[in-house]
Amino acid sequence: MRFGINTFLFTSPFTNQSTKLFPTFKKWGFETVEIAIEDPAHIDPAFVKAELDKHGLACGSVCACLGLDRDLRGTPEAQKNALEYMTKLIDQMVLLGCPSLIGPVYSAVGRADAVPPAEYKQQWKTVVKHLKTLCQHAEKNRKQICLEPLNRFETDFINTCDQALKMVKDVGSPALKLHLDTFHMNIEEKCQADAIKKAGKLLGHFHACGSDRGTPGNDHIGWEGIAQALKAVKYNGDVVIESFTQDVKVIARAAAIWRQIEPSREEIAVKGLKFLKKALK
């Protein structure tokens, strides 16, 4: 099990210049960096890999960033854009030495509206078709795609572990895994530990966030049960802090961060990491 930090806590977009954050991440004790690549043109993956190596870090995951112009169940153009974008991310992951593409890879974040069952069923078939194509590319490059259920306010498509498992089954690719997040599970699952156990060997990535998107451990989440469940399924992937503050304005708006949840970003990272290392290891 490795501990990582998502770059959205400190910057948007991530560019070559953002690698200046790496020495600080290393000093704080992180082993991996989860890089949110909003546009593949923003980085030179060979340069970023060299900077990671220089500071003894690894790119543990690349976070897919999907808006209305990138949506596997959106307009034909949005579907095409999303598929091309994530294909490019997988290509960059090869150069970054990164194993996992993570996040809500199925649809635009923030698209949440009730649709008739027949329309939902058709959207589901469309996403399955596209994920089959994307997973073929991932398999060829020996990468995995970790699909993240989001809470009901951020998507109407996949909210729970059960729904995510159904998508994995329907796609039928060994490259497709689950990505669970304590913030989203806190809203959607009856019991986070049970959801983790249900995911089992298909759990490929894990986000550890406070119940309010703040510091892990400074909240009401049942971390002891989560730790036991991760141990029960023999999870050995990355555990990443993905919290947000008002400092990065575009992300604060997207994640509905309207107030100062914690004193600082450094506190989220440092205290969160200290807590997670104690609680999960």
Over the stretch 163-205, which tens digit does the pLDDT of each residue have? 999 999 999 999 999 999 999 999 999 999 999 999 999 999 9
pLDDT tens per residue, range 28-79? 999 999 999 999 999 999 999 999 999 999 999 999 999 999 999 999 999 9
Instruction: State the catalytic residue, choosing from 31, 38, 51, 148.
Output: 148
Res 255: pLDDT: 85
Which residue is it, tokens 């970023």? Answer: 48
Please state which CATH number belongs to domain 2-280.
Answer: 3.20.20.150
Res 252: pLDDT: 80
189 a catalytic residue? no
Instruction: State the catalytic residue, choosing from 34, 38, 242, 262.
Output: 242
Greater model confidence, 114 or 88: 88
Residue 247 has pLDDT above 90, yes or no: no
Domain boundaries, the chain: 2-280
pTM exceeds cut of 0.95:
yes
Q: Which of 18-32, 98-112, 243-257 has the least mean pLDDT?
A: 243-257
224 a catalytic residue? no
**What string of H, E and C letters represents the secondary structure of the chain?**
CEEEEEHHHCCCCCCHHHHHHHHHHHHHCCCEEEEECCCHHHCCHHHHHHHHHHCCCEEEEEECCCCCCCCCCCCHHHHHHHHHHHHHHHHHHHHHCCCEEEECCCCCCCECCCCCHHHHHHHHHHHHHHHHHHHHHHHHCCCEEEECCCCCCCECCCCCHHHHHHHHHHHCCCCEEEEEEHHHHHHHCCCHHHHHHHHHHHEEEEECCCCCCCCCCCCCCCHHHHHHHHHHCCCCCEEEECCCCCCCHHHHHHCCCCCCCCCCHHHHHHHHHHHHHHHHC
Which residue is it, tokens 């989220």? Answer: 268
Res 256: pLDDT: 86
Res 134: pLDDT: 98
Residue 258 has pLDDT above 90, yes or no: no
Res 245: pLDDT: 85
Residue 69, both tokens: 């112009």
Res 248: pLDDT: 83
Res 146: pLDDT: 98
Res 185: pLDDT: 98
